[in-house]
Amino acid sequence: MSRLNLDDFSDLIERPDSGTRRDAEERRERLAVPPGALGRLDELGEWLSAAQGAVPVRPVERPRVVLFAGDHGVAELDVSGRPAGGTHALVRAVLDGASPVAVLARRAGVPVRVVDAGVDCDPELLPADVVRHRVRRGSGRIDREDALSPEEAEQAVRLGMAIADEEADSGTDLVVLGDLSVGGTTSAATLIAALCGTDASVVTGRGGAGIDDLAWMRKCAAVRDALRRARPVLGDQLELLAAVGGADLAATTGFLLQSAVRRMPVILDGVVSAACALVAQRAAFRAPDWWLAGQVSGEPAQAKALDRMALEPLLDHGVTVGEGTGALLALPLVQAAAALAADLPEKQAPEKQEPDKPESDKPEPEKQASAQD
């Protein structure tokens, strides 16, 4: 197998059809509801129409939540509100229907798929269809060692690509993307700081579980140390993911790139998916045209990444739980935009009324009679 080069995706990914988007914009001008009255819903409908290559836009009928899961060795430094190696419990909660994303997905009728890329637990503790793709148990402590070997990084990216192909082939028309991880926000902050050229303190947040000031200082130090290891490999995205990413982040990056190749729209969730999207953008600059930012997570690194990709979040409800929850909350907004763009009637043209003829132009009764004869 030849070595994977993420830069090759730049030639494989095209932008959503601009001609279709113009047609969608023209159709919007003809609708009975005045332009601008629906706010951002108009923009969403036109974006989705371009992604589908269809006017009017088709409804989003087969969405799916996809969650990549993995543990991160840097969690050993007590930088997370959850215990190191605790991703197994997060996965179990989703599978048991006891997590926020599982509750919302069940209510909305959206299937959830969990992909174990690097959970640190015995495989027997999780269903076979969840663990069958696992690259390794956990990822290395990025402040002092690589998260993955080069071979594992490539394997993880190819895993994400394969999952994207499976979803596209099965008819999934939009993906809600999230993560299940302990320590993942530390790796994500490192990736974003490296790619944006900022310091650790600028990107370090308190994570979905929340941490106190001492834990934040430890996390900031871990990002600082990991950055020293990340900067020398900035020129190669695969090496960067191996150095300071993790199996779940590498798989998510591959998923995002291949989803763009397959023209499958994706809603991003929090800082982890934003970090992977930023790596993917570095490889293929057109790729972000296929993604929406679902929500503001409160993580400063996410704001940095989204600004760099010119993606404006759809929601800002203060949801920090992660796991794809915020992105799933944005799904009804996208579905509503599609329904309005497709089903609203067009303006009716006013009926033309013929002007009354002047009295002098009316035929005389005798002439009408003679004409009938």
Q: Which residues are catalytic?
A: 323
Supply the DSSP string of 243-302, one letter for each residue: HHT-HHHHHHHHHHHHHHHTT--EEE-SHHHHHHHHHHHHH-TTGGGGEEE-B--S-HHH
Alpha helix segments (H runs only) across 87-183 = 87-95, 100-108, 128-131, 150-169
When computed from its CA atoms, the radius of gyration of the chain, rounded to whole angstroms, is 26
Cβ count near 354 (within 10 Å): 5
Query: Could you give the angle at the alpha carbon of 171 between the alpha carbons of 257 and 157, nearest 5°?
Result: 25
Q: Residue 339: which region, alpha, beta or left (left: phi > 0; alpha: psi -120 to 50)? A: alpha
Query: What would the two tokens of residue 238 be?
Result: 């695969």
- Cα separation, 245 vs 235, in Å, equals 15
To 10 degrees, the CA torsion angle through 144, 3, 167, 15? 100
> How many C-beta neighbours within 10 Å does residue 197 have?
9
Nearest Cα residue to 99 out of 208, 248, 172, 245: 208
DSSP readout, 164-214? HHHHHHTT--EEEEEEEEESHHHHHHHHHHHHHT--HHHH---TTT---HH
Give me the amino acid identity at 296.
V
CA distances from 363 to 353, 356, 369, 373 (A): 21, 14, 10, 15
